[in-house]
Amino acid sequence: MTKRDTIEAKLFLLGLGSRRECRNLVRDHFVCIDGVEIEDPYAPFPPQAKELVVNGENVPLQTEIYAIMNKPAGYECSHKPGIYPSVYELLPARWSTMEVHSAGRLDVDTTGLLIFSNNGDFIHHFESPKKELGKTYEIFPEEPMTKTQFGSLRGGVNLRGEKGVFKPISLEQLDNEWVRMEIREGKYHQVKRMLAAVKARVARLRRVAIGTIVLGPDFEEGTWRELTPADFEALGWKH
């Protein structure tokens, strides 16, 4: 057995505090594994354990985090926010010590889908331009867009400071004046800059899909959920 296999180490990896705090949780009789109260923080963590209860609360046993959120407006995608609160404050507090990060960011005033994980390979999968994952946005322009503007976007636009021409994968006018656009690149402020290139301004913006992960209509802003086996299967990601 190594130090990584102890109960103290497992509690630490699960984000339940510093190593000293985790030792004290055990010594203060706050930890039960499969219904048995634990007294020795240096005892091996049972590899087949099914239930961990800490201070009366059931704690999921996985050390890798995979989750999605419907980000509300008024939150920064940063662990060290400036003026506005951090989206990480909307996630479980214990995740704050588990190096959870979002795959890409959304502006303070942009709402919609964020993906979180502490698995660097998983994050890279969504951030890497080589993966060419589509990102779908719904846009409410300040004024209804014209056929000319739609045509210019479909033909491709130039963005200052960027090489090449940027075209949407798909672009459609929805019934309620919203516009849905799918892009591949994910450049800084890309959607707003693409609309600005055809002299249109964005009043509201929300991301509704990344690859095969779609933000459902019943997913309320400010809420989150962990990815399901069906999500991983749709992504083709072995978990």
- Active centre residues (catalytic): 107
Please state, in angstroms and rounded to a whole number, the distance separating the CA atoms of residues 58 and 92. 13
Phi-psi sector, 234: left (phi>0), alpha (psi -120 to 50), beta: alpha
Please state, in angstroms and rounded to a whole number, the distance separating the CA atoms of residues 184 and 134. 5
CA 53 from chain centre, in angstroms, equals 26
Please state, in angstroms and rounded to a whole number, the distance separating the CA atoms of residues 141 and 179. 8
The closest alpha carbon to 212, from 136, 141, 101, 107, belongs to: 136
What six digits make up the tokens of 214? 């779609």
Phi-psi sector, 21: left (phi>0), alpha (psi -120 to 50), beta: alpha
Place of tokens 């499969």: 34
DSSP string, 65-109: -EEEEEEPTT-BS-SS-SSSPBGGGGS-GGGGGTT-EESS---TT
